[in-house]
Amino acid sequence: MAERLTVTQFNERINSVVTSTSNVHNITIVGEIAAITGSSAGHFYPILKDNESSIRCTLFRYAASRLTFRPEVGMKVTVFGSASYYVKGGSLSFNIESMMPYGKGELQAALEELTARLLSEGLFDAERKRPIPAFPDTIGVVTSPTGAVIKDIIDTTARRFPVSILLAPAVVQGDGAAASIVKGIELLNFEGVDVIIVGRGGGSSEDLSAFNTESVVRAVALSKVPIISAVGHATDRTLADRAADVYAETPTMAATLATRDRVEEARNIYNLNLRISHSLKSIMDITRSRFSQLDMRLSSKNAKETIEKQKMNLNQLIMRSDNILIGKMNLYRSKFDIFEAKLDPRRVADRVNQYIMTLDDISETMDASINRNIVNLDRNVLSLSQRLDGLDPTKVLGRGYSFIRDADGKTLTSVLQLKKGNDVEIRMRDGIALASVKDVKKNDRKKD
């Protein structure tokens, strides 16, 4: 009877065939990407094809992170890997370890695509660049433990400044280079070194490819510790060089940038020392001169001089007050002289004569004006008395007029002042008649 297997048993048998067959392992295949899907875990599943066939492939996350380009449908690629059988699903796929664009044109295009993408993310921006510390305690180095790079860095720092070096040995070219460089940067960040040099000796541009992978460039950009890269050449800088805080053309230059020159620093300290002694000397000089001034002022010779000086001052003061008194007295004396001169009898007589003459003049003028006034007055009086004669009421009475007064003796001028029965007196030229009002009649004429 024929052998009967479970599905699993059969699949396991195929798996053992696949795993033990060496000519399906570590194979390089060239093909075109017919389709590609990704999983949330970071794995990719491309399908590669040529004119006649196709094969499912698996690109696990670790391998995908080393890609220097973004695989796209229609792209021709070279893949390296092994056949792998999935027992549970009963499917065969090609497990890709590494994938490169096929041909130089594709490589170049892939690099350009990565460059543009990282550039647009700002990974190469000048604002991201951090200063390199002037006096690091420990310099971390990511490079091959056997090349000239670490030797140059150790020699240069030894010559310039005593600083510790922590090497994170890395594979810098070939398979696994990118992952090993990323790991080195991460480990040194964890160790808390002050600056990291990522270095590599000279080589063809293909040998620099690890420094153009996305994962390495990102690790450089994300490093918390400032990074000096010494990877490429002036004519052929890598993306890692562009993402680093500082780019150095050689490992020796990188070590120089990370350290100060011991001799220069010694000179600096010597100068500081000079400045200390200069300022101290000047402080001492100032203090000394202040002291000597005090000392001089305290000497006995000086005291004597001071007393002499004070005495002189006093004398001057006395002299000055004397002068003031004399001046005052002279002033009073001259005032007195003027006063005395005013009392001179001859001068007094002159004055009196002058007064008299003036008085004479005044009285003459006065006499003349008074005489004129008297004549005028006489004339006025005459004319006034003539006018007064005309106004004498008694003269009018002589011509037949009379006037009436009321009981109070007030002269009446209107009938309105009279009422029927009022007693009045009538005055005539030669006497008075008493009368009483029989009736009062007012004139009709409005004019009155």
Partner 1 sequence: MTEKKTKTEEMTFEESLRALEELVKELETGGLDLDKSLEIYQKAIVLRDRCKKILEESERKVQKLMETANGTEKSEFNVSR
Q: List interacting residues with partner 1 (CB under 8 A).
A: 133-135, 137, 140, 145-146, 150-151, 154, 158, 161-169, 183, 187-188, 190-191, 262, 265-266, 268-269, 272-273, 275-276, 279-280, 282-284, 287
CB of 52 to partner 1, least distance (A): 46
CB of 182 to partner 1, least distance (A): 12
Cβ neighbour number for residue 144 with a 10 Å cutoff: 19
Nearer to partner 1, 64 or 158 (CB): 158
3-class SS letters over 33-73:
EEEEEECCCCCEEEEEECCCCEEEEEECHHHHCCCCCCCCC
Which spans in 392-437 are helix H?
Answer: 393-397
- What is the end-to-end Cα distance of the chain in Å, rounded? 182
CB of 273 to partner 1, least distance (A): 6
Write the CB contacts of 251 (distance below 8 Å, at least 6 apart in sequence). 143, 148, 149, 150, 152, 153, 156, 197, 199, 201, 230
Write the CB contacts of 245 (distance below 8 Å, at least 6 apart in sequence). 128, 129, 130, 131, 132, 226, 227, 228
CB of 252 to partner 1, least distance (A): 14
Nearer to partner 1, 119 or 276 (CB): 276
**In contact, 115 and 107? CB cutoff 8 Å:** no
Instruction: Please choose, from the candidates 16, 176, 155, 167, the residue with its C-alpha nearest in 3D space to the C-alpha of residue 87.
Output: 16
The burial of 353, by beta-carbon neighbours within 10 Å (0-12 exposed, 13-18 middle, 19 or more buried), is given as exposed
Nearer to partner 1, 5 or 276 (CB): 276
CB of 281 to partner 1, least distance (A): 11
User: CA 427, CA 406: separation in Å to the nearest integer?
Assistant: 11
CB of 291 to partner 1, least distance (A): 10
Q: Where are the beta strands (DSSP E) in 336-393?
A: none
**Overall size of the chain counted in residues:** 448
CB of 174 to partner 1, least distance (A): 20
Write the CB contacts of 203 (distance below 8 Å, at least 6 apart in sequence). 173
Q: Which two tokens stand for residue 147?
A: 């090349």
CB of 284 to partner 1, least distance (A): 7
Nearer to partner 1, 107 or 195 (CB): 195
CB of 280 to partner 1, least distance (A): 6
Nearer to partner 1, 76 or 183 (CB): 183
Nearer to partner 1, 164 or 334 (CB): 164
**In contact, 404 and 412? CB cutoff 8 Å:** yes
Nearer to partner 1, 26 or 279 (CB): 279
Nearer to partner 1, 33 or 168 (CB): 168
Instruction: List phi, psi (to 5°) of 76.
Output: -90, 130
Nearer to partner 1, 277 or 373 (CB): 277
